[in-house]
Amino acid sequence: MDPLTLHTLDAVETARVIAAGEVSAREVVDASLARIASLDPRLNAFSVVLADRARAEADERDAARAAGEPVGPLHGVPVAIKEEIDVAGCVTTFGGEANSTPAAEDAEVVRRLRAAGAVVVGKTTMPEFGAFPYTESSSRGITRNPWDPTRTPGGSSGGSAVAVSTGMVPVAIGGDGGGSIRIPSACCGLFGLKPQRGRVSTAPHPHLWWALGTAGPLTRTVRDSALVYDVVRGNVEGDLYRAGETGLFLEAVRRDPGRLRIGWSVTAPAVGVRPDPLHVRAVEETALLLADLGHDVREIDPAYPDITAAFVPQFFAGIRSEAAIVEHPERLERRTRETVRLGAWVRPGVVDRALRLTESVSAKANRVFDRCDVLLTPAIAHRPPRVGVISGLGTVRSSLVSMPAIAYAAIWNVAGNPAAAVPCGPGPDGLPTAVQLVGPIDGEPVLLSVAAQLERARPWPLLAP
């Protein structure tokens, strides 16, 4: 194969051509590293590039294949890992400078990726502790949207989104505690599924921001997301949350969803937030397309519950718990130190109450699925703002600026439901548009099936220009 076109392949196709001997894992990894070297200086997706280790790992994959050993479903596929997730031999920086000792072992999600044959090529940028949905920090600088470098790629998994949307890697792992997979996916034209709470192990940590967070892939295609989830899903001893049973996600992608009840709404769960007209249009056009595909589609009122008392304490507790384990707290960014101080009121009893409220919010939010099988909403309220949107701002002002990004996303972190950002193609401003599909508890299969149907009916650009 032409090395210059390897970046256009998704993960499924990359693994296939390597397994078939059409190209070696080393050639694929070299092409990935060359693309990172070419594009990343102006975009800032990677905080660490593991070039020598990745090449050595690719050589091991090729040697194993040559020896006739079985190959995994991600054999030789380059992947990138968000900074908050442990990669053996790398400092887990959480997006800042407060740690200095490399992790001794891979996080469970990374271990499973490697066991499936993936090759880790580097770690991706994020705002410190993923506190805000824009990938900006005083230590790592500003990460830029490849569709328009004057705009943000969103966050907090912004580096992962940029790496995938440019073809530096076909898959990158992110985390989502309030929209941090879906927001950058929407900003960068990717498919980003936040899975059901507890679907993916957070080990070595028992939880990620208590009931709010989970890890998962950002991908260019629906089938890539399903493939990676089938690799990384599952729990280990010590995980605080566990999801219910489902079938294989790749099977759901291949399955026709049948006729579903799809409810749509552009009403924001957050008071005072109004969606951009482009996002309203994206929802309305997607609703019409779903109706043309045979679904029962109607506008509904989701009757969203107020999530404030459940979300805010877990947000502050999540930041404080991560700040408590770093080696050099004096190196934390000014805004992070302010956030830690402002969250001093969130003591264990407050967290316990927030977790009880989370159960109540989930029950109320899930009543919408008495009336529909899938909920369709905007993914984000605003168009991707200009870079530097929270630079120099404190915690309170940064939180207010962030509301349009998390408005439609954060409620499903509290409720725990699976939710996905689905690309709709570029808008007239040249930036991607997207919608959000939300499923019932343990409803990833139906979301993947519907998203794959939309992908076939309305193909989206797979790479940023």
Let me know if 103 is exposed, middle or buried by CB neighbors in 10 A (0-12, 13-18, 19+). Answer: middle
- The 10s digit of each residue's pLDDT in 227-282 is 999 999 999 999 999 999 999 999 999 999 999 999 999 999 998 999 999 999 99
| Three-class secondary structure assignment of 170-201 | CEEEEEECCCCCHHHHHHHCCEEEECCCCCEC
pLDDT tops 80 at residue 418 = yes
Q: Once rounded to an integer, what is the mean pLDDT over residues 119-136?
A: 97
Choose, from 156, 160, 201, 321, the residue flagged as catalytic.
156
Q: How many residues does the chain have?
A: 465
pLDDT tops 80 at residue 3 = no
pLDDT tops 80 at residue 4 = no
User: Which ranges of 74-200 would DSSP assign to H, the alpha helix?
Assistant: 108-115, 158-165, 182-188
Instruction: Give yes or no: 160 in active site.
Output: no
pLDDT over 70 percentage in the chain: 100
Bridge partner list, 296: 261
Q: Once rounded to an integer, what is the mean pLDDT over residues 33-53?
A: 98
H/E stretch holding 78: strand 78-82
Choose, from 137, 160, 180, 225, the residue flagged as catalytic.
180
Res 139: pLDDT: 86
Task: Grade residue 145 by pLDDT with cuts at 50, 70 and 90.
Answer: very high
Res 400: pLDDT: 95
Res 378: pLDDT: 98
C-alpha distances out from residue 450 to 202, 295, 298, Å:
27, 10, 16
Residue 185 contacts residue 218 (beta carbons within 8 Å): yes
Domains, the chain? 10-457 (3.90.1300.10)
Choose, from 24, 32, 47, 82, the residue flagged as catalytic.
82
Res 26: pLDDT: 98
Average confidence score pLDDT of the chain:
97
The dihedral built from the CA positions of residue 360, 363, 367 and 369, taken in this order, carries a sign that is: positive
- The 10s digit of each residue's pLDDT in 196-210 is 999 999 999 999 999
Res 2: pLDDT: 74
Instruction: Give yes or no: 156 in active site.
Output: yes
Q: Is the pTM of this model over 0.75?
A: yes
Instruction: Give yes or no: 399 in active site.
Output: no
